[in-house]
C-alpha cells in the first residue's frame, strides 16, 4: 500500500508531527518514515519566481527601453541553496499515494506548498492539516479532521496573486527608477507606501512651528482636610502676563464648588494579542524590533510549543476555544511564576458570550495568540519576556473588571473656573496581575490616545486609592496658584511600534477600536510580512534607527520625492495599497477575482513605466551626502545610510543575485574620497550624519553647534566602524574583552553615556 507524504514547512514542525502520528518512524535525516506516513519538510520557500533574465538574456542588463517586463506565465525557480531538499520531496512523492499539506496554516504556508506541487507537477490527492499550535493533542485532533486541500483553493489564488503583483511592481518599478536616475532605487508594492508614511511624518516634524502657551494650576482646600489640585479652564493662553494676572487674581481667594459629579466606571482587560499588537507592545516595553518579536514568537510556537500560532491578525477566539482556555488555566495551576494568579482566577469570566474574548465573526484563519498547556522549559531571557506578556494577557481575562469612582469637580473663584478629575480606585480586578510590573508597562498596554502629537494641554486625571470626597455646599480656598510655561510639541518620529500601528490602519490615525478592527483587512502588508518590510527599508538604506526612532535617510527622502514627482503618487499611497491588500483578502474568501486584480496590477505597472519615461533624470547632487565634519577625512567603506550606490533591489522580498548590476556608475567611498557615513547623529533633535574622520567620528552639523564626537581611541581600545554604528544605533556595543589593572581579563560593553557629547563608559558584565 502506498504511504501518505506529509510536507511540513520547517524541520521542527515535521519532527513534532512525526512524534505524534508515527512515533516509531525511522529518522532518515531529511525525512522520517513510518508504517503509514512519510514526514518531510520544506525549509521555508524552496521555490520562488524566476528573475527576468530567465525569460530573456537581454534582461541581464538593466535598460529602460526593455520595460515593462510582464510575463504571460510566471516561471518558477528552485532556491539553489535548498534544491537537495526539493529533490528529497520529489523522490518521496514518487512513492506516495496521497499528500498532506502541513505547512503553516496561513496564506504564505499555502503558497509554499502550492509552489512545490506546481513545480514538481504532483498529481496526488491533497489533504490540508490546519492547526493553531503544535501540541500533541492539537496535532492528533488535526489529523482526525483533515480537510480537502481544494477547500483552500481561494487562499492559494490570493497567495499567488500577492506574489506575482509584488514581482511586477518590484521588478519594473526598481528598474525604471534606477535606470532613469542613475542610483539603485528599490521600489515595492508595500515598502514604498510604508516609506512614504515615514517621509510624511518627517516633513511634519520639520515644518512644525512650536508655540508657547501657559497653564494655570490651582491648589484648593476645604474644611475637613480635603485638598485637591485643579486646572484652569478657558482658551489656550499665549500671553504670560495674562496667565500671571489670573493666577494672582485667584490666589488666596475663597471660591465655591460649581458642580460635583461622581460616576462609577469599570475597566476591562485589554484584548488578547494578535501578532501586530504583540510586536507593538514588545517594542514599547523591551525595544524589540518587529522582526525580533516575530522570531522569538515563532520559537515559542515551533521549538518550545508553549504558545499558539503567532502570525494571526485576530484578537479573539471561537466558542470551541473556551473549554481549551479553561484547560490551559488548570495546566498553569502549579506554575511557580503564575500559580498565584491562577488561584485567584475565575473561569466564569471566560465564556462564549463575553464579546471581549469570544467573537467568531472576527476570527479568520487563526484565533488570538494564547499560551498552550505545555510547561515552558529552557526559555531564553527574551523568550521568557514575550511569553510573560502572552500569559499575563491571557490570565487577565479570568479576572473581574477594575473598578473606579471618577470624581469631577468644577470650582469657581473670582469668576474663573477650574476643573479636577480624580480617579479613585475601588478594586484592582485584573490589574492585580500587572501590579508588580514596572510602572511603564502598565500604561503601555493602553490603546488610548497614547500617540497624541499636538502637545495640547491635556486633562490631568489624578489617580488615587485613597478616599476622595468634597462637600459641594462648603466654600473652598485657593491656597496657591501657579503658572507653567509649556510648548506645543511636533509629531513624534515613528518607532517600529507606532509604525506597525500605522501600517495596520493603512496610515489612518484611527483611535476607535471597532473602526481599527474593520481596517485590518486593508492595512499595509499582513501580520506575517510587516516585520520583513521594515527590515527591508533598513537593508536598502532608506531608513536608519536612532535608538528606538526610525529616521529617514537622504536616499529615502529622494526616492519618495522622485516617485511622487513622476506622477505615480499611488505607488506611495498607503490607502491604495491598503485597498489592494483588502482585495487579496476578498480573493482568499472567494469574494473577488484574482484575474481582475492582476489585470489592474499590470495596468498600473505600465502606467509607472509611462510616467517615469517622461520624467527628467534626477540632478547629480540629488543623492549627495551632507558636508563632512572635518577636512582630510579618510574615505572608507560606506555604511547603508541611504546614499550608497550599491545594494539590492526589493522584489518579492528577495535580494537580486550578485551578478545583477544596474547600469549605474557605482562609486565607492574609496574612489570618490568621500568620508564614510556611519549613521544618524543620536544627539536629540540634531538629525545630522556621523562621519568617520581621522581621529574620531563627528557630526555633519558640527558647524551649527552639534558637539557629538566619539574618539577612535577610547577606553583603551581602538573603535571600529561596526562598534560606533552599534553605539549610535543601540547605545552599546556587544560584549568585549578588557584587561584589568592587575592583568586579569573581564567582559564589558562600551555604552554611550551622553548622546549629546558622545561620552562613553564601560558597563561590566
Residue 172 is inside which H or E element, if any? helix 153-181
Residue 620 has pLDDT above 90, yes or no: no
Mean pLDDT over residues 81-87, rounded? 94
Lowest pLDDT segment from 16-20, 65-69, 636-640: 636-640
Q: What is the pTM of this model?
A: 0.77
User: What is the model's pLDDT at position 743?
Assistant: 61
The active-site residue out of 301, 309, 399, 434 is 309
pLDDT of residue 20: 96
The answer to whether 291 and 535 have CB atoms below 8 angstroms apart is: yes
pLDDT tens, residue by residue, 431-457: 999 988 865 433 333 433 344 433 333
Contact between 256 and 412 (Cβ < 8 Å): yes
**Span 729-745, average pLDDT:** 77
- pLDDT of 649 over the 50 cut: no
How does pLDDT run across 124-166, given as a tens digit for each residue? Answer: 999 999 998 888 989 999 999 999 999 999 999 999 999 999 9
- Only one residue has cell 460635583, namely 260
Q: Is 309 a catalytic residue?
A: yes
Task: Write down the mean pLDDT value for the chain.
Answer: 86
Nearest to 33 by CA among 100, 92, 83, 91: 92
> What number of H helices and E strands is found in the chain?
21, 27
pLDDT band at 637, cuts 50/70/90? very low
Q: Is the pLDDT of residue 669 over 90?
A: no
- Please check the confidence at residue 423 and state whether its pLDDT lies above 90: yes
What is the SS3 assignment for 584-633? HHHHHCCCCCHHHHHHHHHHHHHHHHHHHHCCCCCCHHHHCCCCCCCCCC
Cell 518607532: give the residue. Answer: 495
Nearest to 408 by CA among 421, 395, 427, 398: 421
- When computed from its CA atoms, the radius of gyration of the chain, rounded to whole angstroms, is 30
Model pLDDT for residues 697-724, shown as the tens digit of each residue? 888 877 677 888 898 888 878 888 888 9
Decide if 299 contacts 383 (C-beta within 8 A): yes
Q: Which pLDDT value is given to residue 272?
A: 97
The lowest-confidence range among 265-274, 459-468, 613-622, 670-679 is 670-679
Q: In percent, how much of the chain has pLDDT > 70?
A: 87
Residue in 196, 177, 195 with CA at minimum distance from that of residue 538: 195
User: What CA–CA distance (Å, rounded) separates 68 from 439?
Assistant: 55
Burial of 352 (0-12, 13-18, 19+ CB in 10 A): middle
pLDDT in tens, 321-356: 999 999 999 999 999 999 999 999 999 999 999 999
pLDDT band at residue 459, thresholds of 50, 70 and 90? low
Domain annotation for the chain: domains and CATH numbers: 4-145 (3.40.50.140), 161-206+492-614 (1.10.460.10), 212-268+405-436+457-487 (2.70.20.10), 275-397 (1.10.290.10), 677-764 (no CATH)
pLDDT in tens, 493-545: 999 999 999 998 886 765 555 555 656 677 888 888 999 999 999 999 999 99
Flag whether pLDDT at 54 surpasses 60. yes
Q: Give the integer Cα–Cα distance in Å for 185 and 192.
A: 11
| Bridge partners, 731 (sequence order) | none
CB 576 within 8 A of CB 600: no
Distance CA 702, CA 484 (A): 33
pLDDT of residue 461: 82
Lowest-confidence region among 16-30, 427-441, 446-460, 578-592:
446-460
Give the separation between CA 177 and CA 249, rounded to whole angstroms.
65
Q: How confident is the model at residue 67 (pLDDT cuts 50, 70, 90)?
A: very high
For 531, the 3-state DSSP assignment is: helix
DSSP state of 349: G
pLDDT at position 675 is 57
Summarize pLDDT for 569-582 with one digit per residue, the tens. 989 988 888 888 88
Amino acid at each position: 500500500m502506498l504511504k501518505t507524504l506529509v510536507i511540513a514547512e520547517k524541520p521542527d514542525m515535521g519532527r513534532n508531527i512525526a512524534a505524534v502520528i508515527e512515533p516509531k518512524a525511522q529518522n532518515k535525516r531529511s525525512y522520517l518514515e513510518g508504517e503509514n506516513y512519510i514526514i518531510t519538510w520544506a525549509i521555508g520557500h524552496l521555490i520562488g519566481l524566476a528573475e527576468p533574465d530567465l525569460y530573456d538574456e537581454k534582461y541581464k542588463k538593466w535598460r529602460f527601453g526593455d520595460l515593462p517586463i510582464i510575463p504571460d506565465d510566471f516561471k518558477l525557480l528552485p532556491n539553489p541553496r535548498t534544491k537537495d531538499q526539493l529533490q528529497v520531496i520529489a523522490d518521496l512523492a514518487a512513492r506516495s499515494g496521497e499528500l498532506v499539506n502541513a505547512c503553516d496554516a496561513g496564506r504564505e504556508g499555502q503558497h509554499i506548498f502550492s509552489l512545490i506541487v506546481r513545480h514538481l507537477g504532483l498529481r496526488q490527492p491533497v489533504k490540508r492539516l490546519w492547526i493553531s499550535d503544535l501540541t500533541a493533542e492539537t496535532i492528533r485532533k488535526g489529523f482526525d479532521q483533515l480537510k480537502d486541500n481544494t477547500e483552500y483553493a481561494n487562499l492559494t489564488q490570493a497567495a499567488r496573486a500577492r506574489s506575482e503583483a509584488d514581482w511586477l511592481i518590484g521588478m519594473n518599478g526598481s528598474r525604471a527608477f534606477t535606470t532613469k536616475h542613475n542610483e539603485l532605487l528599490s521600489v515595492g508594492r508595500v515598502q514604498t507606501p510604508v516609506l512614504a508614511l515615514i517621509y510624511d511624518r518627517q516633513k511634519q516634524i520639520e515644518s512644525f512651528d512650536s508655540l508657547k502657551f501657559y497653564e494655570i494650576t490651582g491648589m484648593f482646600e476645604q474644611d475637613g482636610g480635603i485638598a485637591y489640585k485643579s486646572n484652569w479652564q478657558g482658551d489656550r493662553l499665549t500671553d504670560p502676563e495674562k496667565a500671571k494676572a489670573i493666577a494672582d487674581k485667584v490666589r488666596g481667594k475663597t471660591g465655591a464648588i460649581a458642580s460635583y459629579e461622581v460616576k462609577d466606571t469599570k475597566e476591562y482587560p485589554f484584548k488578547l494579542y494578535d501578532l501586530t499588537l504583540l510586536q507593538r507592545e514588545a517594542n514599547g516595553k523591551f525595544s524589540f524590533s518587529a522582526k525580533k518579536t516575530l522570531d522569538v514568537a515563532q520559537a515559542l510556537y515551533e521549538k518550545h510549543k508553549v504558545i499558539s500560532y503567532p502570525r494571526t491578525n485576530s484578537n479573539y477566539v471561537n466558542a470551541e476555544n473556551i473549554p481549551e482556555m479553561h484547560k490551559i488555566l488548570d495546566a498553569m495551576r502549579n506554575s511557580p511564576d503564575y500559580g498565584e494568579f491562577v488561584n485567584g482566577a475565575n473561569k466564569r469570566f471566560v465564556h462564549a458570550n463575553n464579546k471581549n474574548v469570544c467573537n467568531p465573526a472576527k476570527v479568520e484563519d487563526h484565533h488570538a495568540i494564547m499560551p498552550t498547556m505545555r510547561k515552558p522549559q529552557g526559555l531564553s531571557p527574551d523568550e521568557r519576556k514575550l511569553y510573560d506578556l502572552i500569559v499575563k494577557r491571557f490570565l487577565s481575562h479570568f479576572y473581574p473588571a477594575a473598578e473606579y469612582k471618577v470624581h469631577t469637580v468644577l470650582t469657581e473663584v473670582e469668576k474663573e473656573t477650574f476643573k479636577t478629575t480624580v480617579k479613585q480606585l475601588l478594586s484592582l480586578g485584573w490589574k492585580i496581575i500587572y501590579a508588580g510590573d514596572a510602572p511603564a508597562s502598565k500604561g503601555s498596554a493602553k490603546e488610548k490616545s497614547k500617540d497624541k502629537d499636538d502637545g495640547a494641554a491635556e486633562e490631568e486625571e489624578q489617580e488615587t486609592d485613597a478616599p476622595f470626597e468634597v462637600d459641594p455646599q462648603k466654600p473652598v480656598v485657593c491656597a496657591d496658584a501657579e503658572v507653567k510655561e509649556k510648548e506645543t510639541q511636533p509629531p513624534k518620529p515613528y518607532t517600529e511600534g507606532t509604525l506597525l500601528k500605522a501600517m495596520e490602519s493603512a496610515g489612518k490615525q484611527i483611535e476607535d477600536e471597532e473602526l481599527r478592527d474593520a481596517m485590518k483587512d486593508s492595512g499595509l502588508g499582513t501580520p506575517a510580512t510587516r516585520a520583513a518590510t521594515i527590515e527591508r527599508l533598513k537593508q536598502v538604506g532608506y531608513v536608519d534607527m536612532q535608538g528606538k526612532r526610525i529616521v529617514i535617510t537622504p536616499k529615502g527622502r529622494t526616492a519618495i520625492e522622485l516617485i511622487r514627482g513622476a506622477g505615480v503618487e499611488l505607488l506611495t499611497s498607503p490607502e491604495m495599497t491598503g485597498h489592494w491588500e483588502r482585495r487579496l483578502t476578498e480573493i482568499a474568501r472567494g469574494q473577488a477575482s484574482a484575474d481582475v486584480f492582476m489585470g489592474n496590477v499590470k495596468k498600473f505597472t505600465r502606467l509607472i513605466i509611462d510616467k517615469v519615461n517622461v520624467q527628467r533624470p534626477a540632478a547629480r547632487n540629488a543623492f549627495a551626502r551632507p558636508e563632512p565634519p572635518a577636512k582630510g577625512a579618510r574615505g572608507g567603506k560606506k555604511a547603508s545610510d541611504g546614499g550608497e550606490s550599491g545594494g539590492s533591489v526589493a522584489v518579492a522580498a528577495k535580494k537580486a543575485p550578485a551578478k545583477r548590476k544596474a547600469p549605474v556608475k557605482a562609486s565607492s567611498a574609496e574612489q570618490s574620497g568621500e568620508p564614510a557615513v556611519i549613521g544618524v547623529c543620536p544627539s536629540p533633535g540634531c538629525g545630522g550624519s556621523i562621519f568617520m574622520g581621522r581621529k574620531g567620528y563627528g557630526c555633519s552639523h558640527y558647524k551649527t553647534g552639534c558637539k557629538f564626537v566619539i574618539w577612535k581611541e577610547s577606553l583603551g581600545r581602538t573603535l571600529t566602524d561596526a562598534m560606533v554604528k552599534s553605539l549610535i544605533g543601540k547605545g552599546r556595543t556587544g560584549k568585549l574583552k578588557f584587561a584589568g589593572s592587575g592583568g586579569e581579563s573581564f567582559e564589558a560593553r562600551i555604552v554611550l553615556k551622553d548622546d549629546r557629547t558622545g561620552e562613553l563608559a564601560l558597563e561590566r558584565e
